[in-house]
Structure 1
Amino acid sequence: MHDQPHSRRFGLPTATALVMGNIIGGGIFLLPASVAPFGTLSLLSFVVLTLGAIALALVFGRLAERDPRTGGPYVHARAAFGDFAGFLSAWSYWTMTWVSNAALAVAAVGYVHVLVPGHDTKGMNLAVALLALWLPALANLAGTRWVGAVQLVSTVLKFIPLLFVAIVGLFFFDPHNLGSFNESGGSALGGVSAAAAILLYSYVGVESASMSAGEVRDPERNVGRASVLGTVGAAVVYLLGTVSVFGTVAHKDLVGSTAPFSDAVDAMFGGGWGPTLIALAAVVSIVGALNGWTLMSAQAPYAAARDGLFPTAFATRRRGVPTFGVIVGVLLASLLTVVNYTSGSSGLFEILVLITTFSATVPYLLAAGAQLYFLLSGRREEVRTGRFVRDLVLALAGFGFSFWLVAGAGYAAVYQGVLFLFAGVLVYVWMAARRTSRAEGAEAVDVAAAGPEAAAAGPAVTADGIA
């Protein structure tokens, strides 16, 4: 059953901003320094990854044409492979969102200290991190109109300074600042793969419009458009920003930089105001990402709860937002944040962050696999040859990109992620047992209401056989 039209609050610009805002969080501000050790061939990795991410975005658009309901990857995995696959998709995505929200909140603290120095205490850090979590949650609880407004404003505000550095930096570009094409000294293919392993998770969030399809106007058209436009917009900022930083900061300085965009601003204009500008952009970027990811943390369990695969409370929705899911997600993220600042060790926090790197890939793989299933099990005579071939190529490319994400996550992430994924089986067993119990109870009530005569008569016989 599709969501009613009046519940759809996101037009194409807002849906696009949701995708772009979720893709670009705080990580972009360190990316140029992270890939600098591999040389300029890392730009080639960006291009290859962008093509894979666009292919996956197009797959989500095609899937939304088939079924434009909230829940995106979960909905399609369940339709193709059944309840268990759908549950694994929803469980993995839900895990990834609230844990990564805690990580984003912790990342925001450092940038806030650049803007407001002199308050670096454990209690103040915790307060800032919790504020970063709860302000976007309050916007979500106010309804999808507020979510959309905050997302549009934060997306514009974050991209102004980023695009400023990216575009103006081209006028200060000095080829002598560039390192060699392959700084690692090994094979070029190995260098591309190594750089890609760092960059892979820069595109997590491409599914955001699909996940909120029930709130998007005309989702059959706009989910695909928003997914592609948001991915391309993020890619342009990534590529231009990295090129500008590469060309304005000397390579030997960039490799050890902890604030490459700030260093680029200082190299262009001097004056030492670069850190303040970039810190402000980073705080806005992270708050905008938290606004979008807080909504995402509630969408997958909401869709699963409607089908009886998550507790029914997650299906509670007000003003287009699954309120119970928002509250649970922000509470779990807050608890993890408190543990991070009070335990004296970040071990648990680091383990959970590793889990998210793997958990993000499960819904992607299942969604791309679902599209392949729909294409290969369908009646080909009803599909134009060109469209079938194109969709098949896109689905294979999206699956390959998702598989590459798994490989790039690393052994520790896959190990921890699989353990947590299998722990979710207990939740599935509990929900499946409850559904079976309710179904048997309802059947017993129906038999009792029909009376002894109906029970004694046995099954009815119709023209088509036994009813």
Structure 2
Amino acid sequence: MTASPTPRRAFGFWICLALVMGNMIGSGFFLMPASLAPFGWNGAFGWVATTAGALCLAVIFGSLAHAFPKAGGAYAYTRQAFGPTTAFVVAWSYWVSMWVGNAAIATGLVAPLATLFPSIIDHSAIVTIAIVWMVTGINCFSALLTGRVQLLTTILKFAALVAVVLLAALVIGRSGGEVLPPIRLQDLGFGGETGIAAAAALTLWSFLGLESATVPAERVKDPSRTIPRATLAGTAITGCIYLFACSAVALLLPVEQVVKSGAPMADFVALYWGPFAGTMMAAAAVVSAFGALNGWVLLQGEMPWAMAKDGVFPRFLAKTSSRGTPLRAHIVASLLVTLVISFNFTRSIGDLFQFLILLATSAALVVYLACSVGALRLARQGRLPAGRARLLVFLLAALFSCWALYGAGVESLLWGMVLLLSGIPIHFLMRRNLPPGETVSSLGPDDQELNDA
């Protein structure tokens, strides 16, 4: 172990793009058509609305990464805008959401894996924990290996979704569009249980992770240029894939069949290309979840490492391996993931997955709102260059974040508040217990001025 050497900048544009796309596209998206089928065309317009909001958030994170290319992502940005205490509280809830969310991703990975190997369902907890530590081992070995795994899995899942889009295009083209249900104005609407707003709230979860490239900034080549490009491109490309792949399956299969399907995309492919192609699509869902877990495990180690370097987490977590990976931070976070899975072993996979996703997404939405408001504040102070058009985008991103929190529901909002409030005593406890000179040690002049204020 070494104190904290400068990490090797192993992540170029393509790996950062894979990190953004790979963390957004998990196994859950392959099930999304089942949830959106009752919405009809409102579901497609819901994707359009959510993609527009996600792109506004991508501009926020791209602008912040360009101005402040520091490790820690949301932690670094909120520290610049609001000072160390607010930054810690926001980052704490975000970090907790990461390892809780990773327990959900790992749990969700076992479901499609069990369709390929049914015998593992009796040992699902052991298999889930084994997968977590397999991915942790990859992340502990080297950032370069992590990046290559992320790139490979993203290419495979992207190819599978493009195949769905191409198949849908062929089916629609051969029928002259007659296989699609007609667009009737009386069926379109913004409100209601099956309206555009409800569909957009549902599809929002698929964009969580658009900020992924901002967290490991110290491992990125030319971060002030690479991270904004990867964040914007990754969000835009993923939004288009979401719109066409998910909408095609939801609209082209009978609603009664889709809503009852445990693998709607696999069913769609199998219908036209045979059972083997459907099995390959199920395998793509496994690869997709594995890639998402790989990317999020990277972030769950990078976040506490960046905070430990600033003195707001124990210095123990700032130590790195000889390869420059935050080995201790990865091990601690994955131990917490293991505990979450073990303590919830008695729950069904479906119940556990829903609870963990609720907890993880609530914290992510709070982070989005904090960064949006922080960007507006930094722009007003003249520390974040922004013209009128960009300021408008910042404002839209803040409004979108507020709407997303509202759309997430009361339970999600309450869990977000619980995570935020839990960070306050922990922050002051850590500051009191750390030796003099190790608290908020990396504050620059601007940060110290905000802290004093």
Task: Find the counterpart in structure 2 of residue 131 from structure 1.
Answer: 130
| CA distance 1:372–1:194, change in 2 (3 Å) | same
**Is the deviation greater in 152-161 or in 187-196?**
187-196
Q: 1:68 and 2:69 equivalent? A: yes
Task: Find the counterpart in structure 1 of residue 106 from structure 2.
Answer: 105
| Structure with the larger RCO, 1 or 2 (CA within 8 Å, 6+ apart) | 2
1:276 corresponds, among 273, 279, 293, to 279
* TM-score of the two chains, using structure 2 as the length reference: 0.88
| CA distance 1:25–1:182, change in 2 (3 Å) | farther
**Is the deviation greater in 153-162 or in 136-145?**
153-162
- 8 Å contact 1:45–1:196 — kept in the other structure? yes
Query: How big is the shift at 1:283?
Result: 0.8
Q: In 1, Cα distance between the equivalents of 2:249 and 2:353?
A: 31
Give, as a single letter, the amino acid of the residue that structure 1 aligns with 2:190: A
Q: Secondary structure at the match of 1:277?
A: helix
Extract unaligned runs of 5+ from structure 1: 442-467
Task: Find the counterpart in structure 2 of residue 243 from structure 1.
Answer: 247
Query: How big is the shift at 1:157?
Result: 1.4
Query: How big is the shift at 1:379?
Result: 8.0
Task: Find the counterpart in structure 2 of residue 287 from structure 1.
Answer: 290
Alignment of 1:58-457 (within 5 A): 58-121=59-122, 124-173=123-172, 175=177, 177-179=179-181, 181=183, 187-190=189-192, 191-269=195-273, 271-318=274-321, 319-342=323-346, 351-378=355-382, 387-435=386-434, 438=436
Q: Secondary structure at the match of 2:14?
A: helix
Query: How big is the shift at 1:401?
Result: 2.5
Query: How big is the shift at 1:282?
Result: 0.8
| CA distance 1:186–1:242, change in 2 (3 Å) | closer
Query: How big is the shift at 1:82?
Result: 0.8
| CA distance 1:349–1:120, change in 2 (3 Å) | closer
| CA distance 1:126–1:373, change in 2 (3 Å) | same
* TM-score of the two chains, using structure 1 as the length reference: 0.86
Q: In 1, Cα distance between the equivalents of 2:255 and 2:430?
A: 55
Give, as a single letter, the amino acid of the residue that structure 2 aligns with 1:150: V
RMSD over equivalenced CA pairs, Å: 2.5
Task: Find the counterpart in structure 2 of residue 454 from structure 1.
Answer: none
- 8 Å contact 1:151–1:288 — kept in the other structure? yes
Query: How big is the shift at 1:348?
Result: 7.3
**Is the deviation greater in 245-254 or in 309-318?**
245-254
Query: How big is the shift at 1:95?
Result: 0.9
How many equivalent pairs are there? 430
Q: In 2, Cα distance between the equivalents of 1:67 and 1:11?
A: 18
| CA distance 1:167–1:137, change in 2 (3 Å) | same
Query: How big is the shift at 1:53?
Result: 1.0
| CA distance 1:263–1:7, change in 2 (3 Å) | same
| CA distance 1:391–1:4, change in 2 (3 Å) | farther
Q: Secondary structure at the match of 1:10?
A: coil
- 8 Å contact 1:354–1:417 — kept in the other structure? no
- 8 Å contact 1:94–1:298 — kept in the other structure? no
Q: Secondary structure at the match of 2:407?
A: helix
| CA distance 1:138–1:5, change in 2 (3 Å) | closer
| CA distance 1:433–1:158, change in 2 (3 Å) | same
Structure 1 runs (4+) greater than 3 angstroms displaced: 3-6, 174-190, 342-353
| CA distance 1:102–1:225, change in 2 (3 Å) | same
Q: Secondary structure at the match of 2:345?
A: helix
Q: After superposition, what is the alpha-carbon deviation per residue over 1:429-467, rounded to whole angstroms, capped at 9, x for unaligned?
A: 2012235x62599xxxxxxxxxxxxxxxxxxxxxxxxxx
Q: After superposition, what is the alpha-carbon deviation per residue over 1:136-165, rounded to whole angstroms, capped at 9, x for unaligned?
A: 111100111011110111111112222111
- 8 Å contact 2:104–2:352 — kept in the other structure? no
Bigger Rg, structure 1 or 2:
1
Q: After superposition, what is the alpha-carbon deviation per residue over 1:286-320, rounded to whole angstroms, capped at 9, x for unaligned?
A: 11011100011122222221222212222222334
Q: In 2, Cα distance between the equivalents of 1:95 and 1:402?
A: 20
| CA distance 1:416–1:388, change in 2 (3 Å) | same
Q: After superposition, what is the alpha-carbon deviation per residue over 1:213-237, rounded to whole angstroms, capped at 9, x for unaligned?
A: 1111001111100001111221122
Task: Find the counterpart in structure 1 of residue 448 from structure 2.
Answer: none
Query: How big is the shift at 1:349?
Result: 6.9
Extract unaligned runs of 5+ from structure 2: 440-453
Q: In 2, Cα distance between the equivalents of 1:336 and 1:363?
A: 22
Query: How big is the shift at 1:176?
Result: 5.2
Query: How big is the shift at 1:336?
Result: 1.3
Query: How big is the shift at 1:201?
Result: 1.1
| CA distance 1:108–1:94, change in 2 (3 Å) | same
Give, as a single letter, the amino acid of the residue that structure 1 aligns with 2:22: G
Query: How big is the shift at 1:351?
Result: 4.3
- 8 Å contact 1:177–1:249 — kept in the other structure? no
